Structure 1
């Protein structure tokens, strides 16, 4: 049985008004086609929907029982039409988004909440991974986009989404823990906890370059793959490190984050995606991120 959705809307309108004339006005039609439509719906269903005479209109018991189902079906149709319209505009779909742990301290959660509010028809799943792993997954199509620590000038779409300075991370009882600013050269004899080059070569190379500019090569026996692991190692007294300033938002106990003399603001986080792939919802995601970055003071998610 193929019920005409138009007739269902007729039924709901009459059930709401309990008056054929007012229902017709509400539907912007004349009363005769409304009466015909209700009669055809009753014939299809095999039961009467209304008791009606010259003085009153009332739902039958079966009509009363059928009304919630009619509402449910019409709501589903309306939602499907709304979703289809959003899909046609690129404002619907499902996205698999990668991120590094450091993004949690750079406003990622706040941005995703905003995006979800602006684009309720775009669902997303989050996948934590290293920058290198995310690039591989975006290239293979298993991720639609990724928030990474290192940009890419190759085949990826590439958007800077966070800029910041680097700071020195010290144990809270370190002799320099109460300083307001530190010259990296004064730390030449310290043991460094280093972010491993494999998962994020950009941060590793930056630290090595900073130390080279200060006239030394860092001494290290500890290489880790997460900035929180770096801070935890430092808190345990196993060394010191140089990390992006946003990591201070982790509020890791037992460490101090001190300004690094001469450190300049630079990009530390990027969104990458494959511009050759058509992914419903991705354009809306990128456009919303761009709008947030334009409005922020430093072009940062959390600014």
Structure 2
């Protein structure tokens, strides 16, 4: 009892006309009639009454119509699901991201993706940028949002950089200035992320001080920027954070631009060669639209 034959039965039952049903099923009338006779033999009962006046369902045919329709409908759905999975419309997206990346417009992108593709389950996995690289290489995630440069063979889609601002205690004397010069930070206690998790940014921040003839007084290395802000509130020191972190205001902390400008933090979507998963491609489409609309730039401003 194949699905094609059941679909032929449904067509005849709905049209009550063998020729029209045959045209609908793209079959010759004899071929359609042969399928119906074979189905009746398999069911063990006549499904149609045929006479010169036309075609009508028998009681057995009327009882069989509902289950046949359901079988055809479920078969059509089953056939469509693999194609939807190939197109990234169903399934799962494993998205790895750094804590800093999720302070920008990434939550908006995830929300827009979930609205557009509600049948794709999104797994959000927070990790450091090097761990995002490793997870992409091992296949543990489909798509990552990290901070270049990268040490692995990945494909990158650049997102707008995150500018840095200086976080300092609101009661600090420098908080009275609208803009703080790097030269003003001589001898100030500096909080900074360890070089092991961001060597490029670390070296560029140090170079910013060196160019001004200053040797920065690093009092503590802090892995998370949110922790750094907490330490600033506690009066431990001053430190650079992204502008998106700065928008999440915290009592006792002020944020000021610095001249010369500190390095901005690069952000990119990344995936492992050779291809991006279908669900990852769908998510990247949402991200690209937001970038074109300037949402990432506004989030970073």
Query: What TM-score does the superposition give when structure 2 sets the normalisation length?
Result: 0.77
Which residue in 2 is equivalent to 1:211? Answer: 209
Query: What TM-score does the superposition give when structure 1 sets the normalisation length?
Result: 0.77
Identify which of 147, 150, 172 aligns with 1:149: 147
Is contact 2:10–2:68 with CA below 8 Å preserved after alignment? no
Corresponding position: 1:76 with 2:74: no
Is contact 2:205–2:262 with CA below 8 Å preserved after alignment? no
Is contact 1:122–1:281 with CA below 8 Å preserved after alignment? no
Q: 1:43 to 1:301 in 2, by over 3 A?
A: farther
Alignment of 1:1-303 (within 5 A): 3-17=1-15, 20=18, 23-29=21-27, 31-46=29-44, 54=54, 56-57=56-57, 59-83=61-85, 86=87, 95-115=93-113, 125-152=123-150, 155-263=153-261, 266=264, 268-275=266-273, 277-278=274-275, 280-281=277-278, 284=281, 288=285, 291-292=288-289, 295-297=292-294, 300=297
Q: 1:155 to 1:76 in 2, by over 3 A?
A: closer
Say which is worse superposed, 55-64 or 235-244, in terms of deviation: 55-64
Is contact 2:95–2:141 with CA below 8 Å preserved after alignment? yes
Give unmatched runs, 5+ long, in structure 1.
none
Give unmatched runs, 5+ long, in structure 2.
none
Residues of 1 paired with 2:154 and 2:298: CA distance?
Answer: 20
Say which is worse superposed, 185-194 or 173-182, in terms of deviation: 173-182
Is contact 2:109–2:290 with CA below 8 Å preserved after alignment? no
User: What is the RMSD of the two structures over their aligned residues, measured on CA atoms?
Assistant: 3.7
Is contact 1:152–1:158 with CA below 8 Å preserved after alignment? no
Is contact 1:97–1:124 with CA below 8 Å preserved after alignment? yes
Residues of 1 paired with 2:80 and 2:136: CA distance?
Answer: 34
Residues of 1 paired with 2:8 and 2:134: CA distance?
Answer: 54
Residues of 2 paired with 1:26 and 1:301: CA distance?
Answer: 54
Give 1 or 2 for the bigger CA radius of gyration: 2
Q: 1:112 to 1:119 in 2, by over 3 A?
A: same
